[in-house]
Amino acid sequence: MDDEGLRKSRIVKATHGARKDISDPEFELGLSDYLKTEYAYDALIDLYGRHKSGEGKLDGVMRRAIWRALAKHFGHGARIESGVGFKHVETFEIGDNVFIGAQTFIQGRYDGVCQIGDHTWIGPKSYFDARNLVLGEYVGWGPGAMVLGSAHSGVPIDVPFIQTDLEIKPVRVGDWTDIGTNAVLLPGVSIGKGAIVGAGAVVTKDVPAFAVVAGVPAQFLHWREGYEPQQGMES
């Protein structure tokens, strides 16, 4: 390709979102069953540490096998890249064909909810306060984007802020949404189906389905092309 060609934008086919559903091989399922039977929870966490940062095929297999052994649900065709960390993985429900990018961290809670829907793609270095989090199906999550699902109350004023009660608020991200690189979702927000959140946006309030928002704080820009909102619907 010449220099002029390199300067032009081009359209290529989607890859992750177009993947066919596949079943993991029987030996992986059997390995997970074995690990679950033979290893205590803490021992599996230690074993994960040995394979957490590896780039080889065996490391990838072991990461999947350990997640499947520990998680509440773990679908087929998932990929857990190197350096992915977690807390309270036993509360996680991971759908089919989910991709979790390198160095992502998912912080659950022992009594929490963390659901990630089928075919969702999570970019590297993302962070999730996943104590009450639901991501839908076919979600695109940009690298470095974050969910903040809790905040300290700040009262009473005569004690350090971090000693005040923590309020956990549910965060809901609808099917088909696209969350831009380094965007931040604050506690309690819901992102409607098919919405687009721009790169670096800070979402402080709910986003309607098929809306495009951007900025700090995130503001409504327009509806996605081809979408016709109901009459009188506010942005």
**Domain boundaries of the chain, sorted by first residue:** 24-70, 76-222
pLDDT tens for 92-149 read: 999 999 999 999 999 999 999 999 999 999 999 999 999 999 999 999 999 999 999 9
Contact between 197 and 159 under an 8 Å Cβ cutoff? The reply is no
Is 152 a residue of the active site?
yes
What percentage of the chain reaches a pLDDT higher than 70? Answer: 95
| CATH of span 76-222 | 2.160.10.10
pLDDT tens for 19-59 read: 778 889 999 999 999 999 999 999 999 999 999 999 999 99
Contact between 142 and 123 under an 8 Å Cβ cutoff? The reply is yes
6-10, 11-15, 152-156, 169-173: range with highest mean pLDDT: 169-173
Residue 173, pLDDT above cutoff 90:
yes
Once rounded to an integer, what is the mean pLDDT over residues 151-156? 92
pLDDT tens for 71-83 read: 999 999 999 999 9
How high does pLDDT run on average in the chain? 93
How far is 223 from 194, CA to CA, in rounded Å?
10
pLDDT tens for 2-12 read: 666 667 777 88
Contact between 96 and 21 under an 8 Å Cβ cutoff? The reply is yes
**pLDDT reported for residue 19:** 75
Of the residues 16, 119, 152, 222, only one is catalytic, namely 152
Q: Edge to edge, what strands does the sheet with 211-214 contain?
A: 79-80, 99-100, 121-122, 140-141, 178-179, 196-197, 211-214, 219-223
**pLDDT reported for residue 1:** 55
How far is 24 from 19, CA to CA, in rounded Å?
14
Once rounded to an integer, what is the mean pLDDT over residues 152-171? 94
The residues facing 79 across adjacent strands are: 99
**pLDDT reported for residue 31:** 97
Which residue in the block uniquely carries the two structure tokens 């098919």?
A: 194
How far is 182 from 67, CA to CA, in rounded Å?
26
Residue 204, pLDDT above cutoff 60:
yes
Once rounded to an integer, what is the mean pLDDT over residues 155-180? 96
**pLDDT reported for residue 68:** 98
Contact between 181 and 143 under an 8 Å Cβ cutoff? The reply is yes
pTM of the predicted protein model: 0.91
How far is 218 from 199, CA to CA, in rounded Å?
10
Residue 63, pLDDT above cutoff 70:
yes
